[in-house]
C-alpha cells in the first residue's frame, strides 16, 4: 500500500531506540565515531510531505526498508543515507515524545485543540531543536562517508534533495536578527547539495523515457519551487534553460500567448480543470526562467557590481504584470467556500470530483507562490539599490529619478501581491508538515507588512487581514523551528496588532478572520502530491 501522509508506523519502542536520551534532555550530536545505534528508519513513515522525486516513489522506499526488516544497517549504502536524511527531515514535524520530549503534544495533525488558527506553537520548535540538529548532523556524516555526491543514482539524488531542504531549514535556525538589507547582501551563494542534486538529475534525465504531460508538469513545479527558494535568498538559480527542456519538455508559448489562450477559455470552460491544466506547466516554466533572469541580470553578485539595468527591470515588471493577470484569472475560477470547522480527511475516501478540485487548488497555489516570490525578490532588490545609491552618491539626478519610479512600480506590485498571499492562505491552508519550508517567503512578506506599519504608525486598514494571516503563520511555523529572528518578527507584529486592537481596528475575535482558511490539519494534498489512481496520494 502506498504511504499515506501522516501515517505512523514506528512503535514506541522503536522511537525510544531512535534517540533514547532525547526525552531526558541529554541528547548531543553524534560524532563520526559514535557507536550508539543509528536512527530507526521506520521514522521515515511518520509523515510523507511529498514525493522524493518523480522517479523514486515513496512506496518503493517503504518496501525497501521493509525488506531490510527495518534494520538500517542492512540497507545498501545509498538507501541507508536516504533513510538518515528522511529521519532528520521527519524530526522537524514529529510530535513523538522521543523527538519533542515530555510535555503537552497534539494527538494528531488534526488535533484542533492544539493545532488551531492563531496558536503559538513555538514551544514545540524549541523542544525538538536539539534532536533535529543531531539527526541532521548524523545525516551529513553518513552522506560524506558514503560519498553520495560521486554516485549517480535515484537514491543519491533524493538524498541530496533532502539535504538541501535541511540546509534551508538550518538557515532558519542560524539566521540572525538585524537589517534584512545587510543579511541579503551578506548571504552566501553556496548551494553544495543543490549543485550535486542538479548534476545527478541531469545525468538521470538523459535516460528517462515515456514522459507524460502529468510528469512534465510535476517536474516543472519542482524546478520552479527550487528557483523560487533560491531567489528569495539571493542565491544562484542552478537550473539552466537546457535543463528545463530536458526535464520538463518542449518550450512553451510566451506568457502573452498563454494569457490570450486562457481569456476565451475562462468564458466558456465548464470548470477550472481545463483552464488550469492548460496554463500550469507553461506558467511554472516561465517562473523558473524569470527567476534565473532576475538573478543573472538584477540581483546576482555580478549584476550588483554595476548600476541596475533599467531595461531589465522594465521587462521584468512587464512579465510580472502578465503573470499576475494569469493568476487573477485562475483565482476567479475557484470557489472559496470555507468549512468553519475543518477536520482531517481520509483522502482515500474523497469523491473524484472533490479530488479534482483539490488538485486545481494545489496547482493554483503553486502558481501564486511562484508569482509572489518573484515580486518579493524584485521589491527587496530595489529597496537595497535605493540604500546603496544614496550611500554611494554616484548616480545622476535623472538616473535616481528613473530608478525611484521603477522602485515605486515594484512596491506597487508587492502591495498587490500581499493580497495574493492572503488569498493563498484562503486557497490552501499550510499544514505544519510543510510550514517551515516556506520560511523565506513568509519572513519576507511579514517584513514588508511590518515596514508598512512602521511607516504609517500602525497597521493600514487594507492590511489588517493579511497582517493577521502572516502573524498566525509565523506562530504556526514555530512548530518546526526555533530561532531568534522568528521570535523578533512575532514580537514586532504582536506589538502592532495590540496597538491596532486597542484602537478597534484589528480583529481580536478569530471569527473576524473567517474568510481566511488557515487550519493546521492534514486535509489538503501537497502541491506536488500525486494520485496513484487507487485512492491514495503520495
DSSP labels for 194-237? Answer: HHHHHHHHHHHHTT-----HHHHHHHHHHHHHHHHHHHHTT---
Q: State how far the Cα of 318 lies from the Cα of 97, in Å rounded to an integer.
A: 51
pTM for the model stands at 0.81
Q: Is the pLDDT of residue 127 over 90?
A: yes
Burial (CB < 10 A; 0-12, 13-18, 19+), residue 60, is middle
Whole-number pLDDT of residue 393: 67
Q: How confident is the model at residue 2 (pLDDT cuts 50, 70, 90)?
A: very low
Kindly state the cell numbers that stand for 214. 502529468
All cell numbers assigned to 400: 535616481
Q: What is the pLDDT of residues 404-422, one digit of tens each?
A: 999 999 999 999 999 888 8
Q: How far apart are CA 436 and CA 474, in angstroms?
A: 9
Strand partners, 53: 56
- DSSP result, 166-194: HHHHHHHHH--SS-HHHHHHH-----HHH
Q: What are phi and psi of 53, to 5 degrees?
A: -160, 165
Burial of residue 373, with CB atoms counted within 10 A of its CB: 0-12 exposed, 13-18 middle, 19 or more buried:
buried
* Residue of 476 and 382 predicted with greater confidence: 382
pLDDT at 212: 86
Domain limits of the chain?
1-210, 211-429+517-538
Q: Are 436 and 92 in contact (CB under 8 A)?
A: yes
* pLDDT level of residue 214 (50, 70, 90 thresholds): confident
Between helix 255-268 and helix 272-294 the angle, nearest 10°, is 160
307: exposed, middle or buried (C-beta count within 10 Å: 0-12, 13-18, 19+)? middle
Angle, helix 213-232 to helix 272-294, in steps of 10 degrees: 40
- Total Cβ atoms within 10 A of residue 245: 12
CA–CA dist 533, 508 (Å, integer): 44
How many Å apart are CA 461 and CA 463, to the nearest integer? 5
Angle between helices 241-248 and 272-294 (to 10 degrees): 150
Eight-class DSSP state of 504: T
87 class by beta-carbon count within 10 Å (0-12 exposed, 13-18 middle, 19+ buried): buried
Maximum average pLDDT range among 166-170, 368-372, 503-507: 368-372
C-alpha separations of 481 from 114, 123, 167, 526 in Å: 17, 9, 13, 20
Name the DSSP class of 27. Answer: -
Three-state secondary structure of 333-376: CCCCCCCCCCCCCCHHHCCHHHHHHHHHHHHHHHHHHHHHHHHH
Average pLDDT over residues 25-36: 36
Lowest-pLDDT range of 93-102, 219-228, 254-263, 433-442: 433-442
Query: What residues have CB less than 8 Å from 437, skipping those under 6 apart?
Result: 49, 165, 168, 169
| 323-340 confidence digits (pLDDT tens) | 999 998 887 776 655 444
Amino acid at each position: 500500500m502506498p504511504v499515506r501522509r501522516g501515517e505512523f508506523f514506528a512503535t514506541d519502542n522503536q522511537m525510544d531506540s531512535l534517540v533514547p536520551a532525547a526525552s531526558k534532555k541529554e541528547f548531543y550530536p553524534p560524532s563520526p565515531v559514535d557507536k550508539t545505534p543509528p536512527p530507526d528508519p521506520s521514522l521515515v513513515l511518520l509523515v510523507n510531505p511529498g514525493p522524493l522525486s518523480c522517479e523514486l516513489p515513496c512506496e518503493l522506499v517503504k518496501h525497501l526498508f521493509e525488506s531490510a526488516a527495518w534494520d538500517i544497517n542492512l540497507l545498501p549504502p545509498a538507501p541507508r543515507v536516504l533513510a538518515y536524511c528522511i529521519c532528520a527531515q521527519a524530526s522537524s514535524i514529529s510530535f513523538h515524545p522521543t523527538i519533542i520530549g515530555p510535555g503537552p503534544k497534539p494527538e494528531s495533525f488534526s488535533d484542533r485543540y492544539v493545532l488551531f488558527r492563531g496558536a503559538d506553537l513555538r514551544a514545540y520548535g524549541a523542544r525538538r531543536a536539539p534532536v533535529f540538529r543531531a539527526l541532521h548532523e548524523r545525516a551529513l556524516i553518513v552522506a560524506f562517508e558514503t560519498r553520495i555526491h560521486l554516485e549517480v543514482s535515484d537514491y543519491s539524488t533524493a538524498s541530496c534533495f533532502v539535504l538541501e531542504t535541511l540546509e534551508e531549514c538550518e538557515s532558519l535556525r542560524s539566521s540572525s536578527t538585524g537589517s534584512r538589507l545587510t543579511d541579503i547582501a551578506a548571504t552566501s551563494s553556496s548551494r553544495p547539495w543543490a549543485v550535486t542534486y542538479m548534476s545527478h538529475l541531469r545525468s538521470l534525465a538523459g535516460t528517462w523515457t515515456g514522459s507524460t504531460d502529468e510528469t512534465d508538469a510535476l517536474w516543472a513545479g519542482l524546478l520552479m519551487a527550487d528557483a523560487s527558494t533560491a531567489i528569495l535568498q539571493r542565491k544562484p538559480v542552478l537550473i539552466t534553460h537546457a535543463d528545463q527542456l530536458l526535464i520538463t519538455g518542449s518550450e512553451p508559448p510566451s506568457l502573452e500567448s498563454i494569457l490570450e489562450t486562457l481569456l476565451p477559455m475562462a468564458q466558456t470552460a465548464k470548470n477550472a480543470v481545463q483552464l488550469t491544466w492548460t496554463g500550469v506547466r507553461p506558467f511554472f516554466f516561465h517562473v523558473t526562467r524569470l527567476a534565473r533572469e532576475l538573478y543573472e541580470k538584477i540581483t546576482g553578485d555580478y549584476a550588483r557590481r554595476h548600476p541596475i539595468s533599467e531595461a531589465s527591470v522594465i521587462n521584468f515588471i512587464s512579465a510580472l504584470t502578465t503573470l499576475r493577470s494569469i493568476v487573477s484569472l485562475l483565482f476567479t475560477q475557484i470557489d472559496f467556500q470555507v468549512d468553519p470547522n475543518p477536520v482531517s480527511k481520509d483522502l482515500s475516501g474523497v469523491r473524484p470530483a472533490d479530488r479534482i478540485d483539490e488538485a486545481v487548488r494545489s496547482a493554483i497555489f503553486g502558481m501564486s507562490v511562484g508569482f509572489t516570490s518573484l515580486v518579493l525578490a524584485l521589491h527587496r532588490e530595489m529597496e537595497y539599490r535605493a540604500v546603496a545609491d544614496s550611500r554611494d552618491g554616484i548616480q545622476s539626478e535623472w538616473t535616481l529619478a528613473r530608478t525611484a519610479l521603477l522602485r515605486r512600480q515594484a512596491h506597487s506590485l508587492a502591495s498587490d501581491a500581499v493580497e495574493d498571499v492572503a488569498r493563498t492562505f484562503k486557497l490552501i491552508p499550510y499544514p505544519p508538515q510543510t510550514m517551515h519550508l516556506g520560511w523565506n517567503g513568509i519572513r519576507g512578506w511579514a517584513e514588508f507588512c511590518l515596514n508598512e506599519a512602521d511607516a504609517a504608525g500602525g497597521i493600514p486598514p487594507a492590511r489588517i487581514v493579511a497582517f493577521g494571516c502572516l502573524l498566525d503563520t509565523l506562530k504556526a511555523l514555530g512548530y518546526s523551528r526555533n530561532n531568534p529572528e522568528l521570535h523578533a518578527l512575532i514580537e514586532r507584529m504582536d506589538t502592532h496588532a495590540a496597538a491596532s486592537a486597542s484602537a478597534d481596528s484589528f480583529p481580536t475575535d478569530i471569527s473576524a478572520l473567517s474568510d481566511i482558511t488557515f487550519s493546521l490539519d492534514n486535509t489538503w494534498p501537497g502541491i506536488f502530491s500525486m494520485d496513484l489512481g487507487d485512492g491514495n496520494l503520495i
